[in-house]
Amino acid sequence: MNKNNSLIIKSTLEFQFKTLELCNYSYNSFLPEFNKVQKSKRSTLSLRKEENSLIFSIESKDITAFRATINEIISFGRIFEGVLNIVNKTQ
């Protein structure tokens, strides 16, 4: 955090899945990527699984770091959603 910056941004983002199986697939798919993005100098990301949900908790020291962390989560969600669409079309 900058010495002049008195801002900390905290947020929680939840992905809710229709089934526990989809939640588990998503969780296991995200883990390798999560290990790369979970901590930086300016932002911390934690992940927990509850029932049919993945819950991401973010704490950032500035708005740019917060946006970068949110973008990582959204990118993962889009990829997983795309894979699910492909799987559903082939069944």
Domain ranges for the chain, please list them: 9-90
- pLDDT by residue for the chain (91 residues), tens only, comes to 445 568 899 999 999 999 999 899 888 888 887 776 666 789 999 999 999 999 999 999 999 999 999 998 998 888 888 878 777 777 6
Fold of 9-90: TATA-Binding Protein (3.30.310)
Q: DSSP labels for 40-91?
A: -SSEEEEEEEETTEEEEEEEESSHHHHHHHHHHHHHHHHHHHHHHHHHHHH-
